[in-house]
Structure 1
Amino acid sequence: MLSDGVGYLNIKSWSNHNKTEGGNIAELVEKELNNFKDSDSLIIDVRQNGGGNSSLAENLASHFIEKQTQYCKIFKKVSKQDELVEQTVNISPKGEFLDKKIVILTGPKCLSSNEMFVLMLKDTGKAITVGQTTGGGSGNPKAFNLHLGGKDFILTVSTWRMMRNNGQELEGVGIEPDIPVEIKRDDVIQKRDIELEKAIEYLKHG
């Protein structure tokens, strides 16, 4: 918990393979949410999160959703069809509803299912984002092992196109922050987390 009733949750992966403090990501997130029940606002830091299981991301986001809401569309190839098939992607409420003012800290290392998490709250009007543009890599890639010229390679290929509610492509573009923050050399030298400072400032003063 930060000052003045501001909660802070740092999630570095949406994978249960990354176990810390004796528990997996899903268990730890639910445990931390209980600690923030009395807070008025919450900062969710996913700047170092490269993705994982989108279901885990949805489990957290669903606590802040009051009704089923669309947060993006995907276009994917279906066998024996020439055109891409459009699919609407929704998020529905699950578990205890938490009515809080939310800020998500984002950056270029935000990728894959983590970008989906950002959309679940940002593009449904439940959160604002602070920091830098996300990486723009959420094509649900499929990996292929190749052996060429005596060397082994892994080729990853996108299996869908994702489009935001505003019609903007995600792949190669990313999600721009509502409040962009420029990190200066002096901030790095002084070890200031200027993005976190901006998030706290927004929550305190709007």
Structure 2
Amino acid sequence: MSYSAAALPAVEITAGDAYSEQEAERYYGRRVNHGFEKFELLPDNIGYLSLRVFAPPAMAGDVAAAAMTLLAQADAMIIDLRRNGGGHSDMVALLAAYLFDRSEPLSSTYYRPEDRLTTSNTPAWVPGRRYGATKPVYVLISPKTFSAAEHFAYDLQALGRAVVVGEPSGGGAHPFEYRRLHPHFVLCLAESRSVNPITNGNWQGVGVVPDIAVPADRALDAALELIRAQAPYTGTG
């Protein structure tokens, strides 16, 4: 159950409409830099992106393009989702697209009330520069990694595009709809589930299982060690 400070309309509410404009700004807006906590090039030309939330592309598409264009020059990339609780699947698809050279399939959504499957792919075109499909990518996760952040990690892992490092994530793969119970309270009701086209499963209840299992607070150091030890990594220092 969720609370909204603003009175909610007495109609069916979709997940995208659950928060007021002010609340959306608080969760996804400029004061949190649309979730892009840090993006930089570390020594040895290793790109590092710390992402706290997957904001709607309508709010943060330009920031995503700026961050990924900077990181495109890296020889290896680390995407830190250890404190990312989720967000919008459209941003999942957009950011994932920078890590490929062409459109790739992502997890679909099965809607139980309508017995309908909606497929998803990374966009064929992105603004700015792509990092591309050949250089190493490491994704850091923890038990706090949830929902859309798990979607991102799980799908990249299933596609063989990223090595996932850390501890199993929170295990939230079932998208939900909001059902109004009161002018200020809504029930988050799971009416659909994610279906990955490669595994035919998802991460509900079990979380994303890391390829390299280490305590979450050591995941960044572990990824850096793996990158620097890996041939043919060509970082020049």
TM value normalised by structure 1: 0.78
Structure number with greater CO (CA < 8 Å, separation at least 6) is 2
Letter in 1 for 2:222: K
Residue 199 of structure 1, aligned match among 210, 215, 223 = 223
Name the residue aligned to 1:139.
174
Matched, 1:121 2:161: no
State the superposition RMSD in angstroms.
2.4
Cα distance in structure 1, aligned partners of 2:221 and 2:178: 39
For residue 121 of structure 2, the aligned residue among 90, 93, 108 is: 90
Alignment partner of 1:44 is 2:76: no
Decide whether the 8 Å contact of 2:113 with 2:191 is kept in 1.
no
The count of corresponding residues between Structure 1 and Structure 2 is 184
Rounded to whole Å, the distance in 1 between the matches of 2:103 and 2:67 is: 24
Pairing 1:49-128 to 2, within 5 Å after superposition: 49-79=84-114, 84-95=115-126, 96-99=129-132, 100-128=135-163
What pairs up with 1:163-174 in 2 under 5 angstroms?
163-164=195-196, 165-174=198-207
Query: Following TM superposition, by how much is the alpha carbon of 1:162 offset from its aligned partner in structure 2, in angstroms?
Result: 1.6
Aligned mates of 1:68, 1:27 — CA distance in 2: 20
Task: State the Cα deviation string for residues 30-87 of structure 1 (Å, max 9, x = none).
Answer: 22223223210110111111111211222111011223322324322244xxxx3344
Q: Aligned match of 1:155 in 187, 209, 223? A: 187
Contact 1:122 1:128 in 2 (8 A): yes
What CA distance in whole angstroms lies between the structure 2 residues aligned with 1:31 and 1:50?
A: 22
In structure 2, the gaps of 5 or more residues are 1-40, 231-237
Q: Deviation at 1:89?
A: 3.0
Per-residue CA deviation, residues 111-151 of structure 1 (Å, 9 max, x unaligned), is 2222222234222121111011121113111122335xxxx
Residue correspondence of structure 1 range 8-19 to structure 2 within 5 A = 8-16=48-56
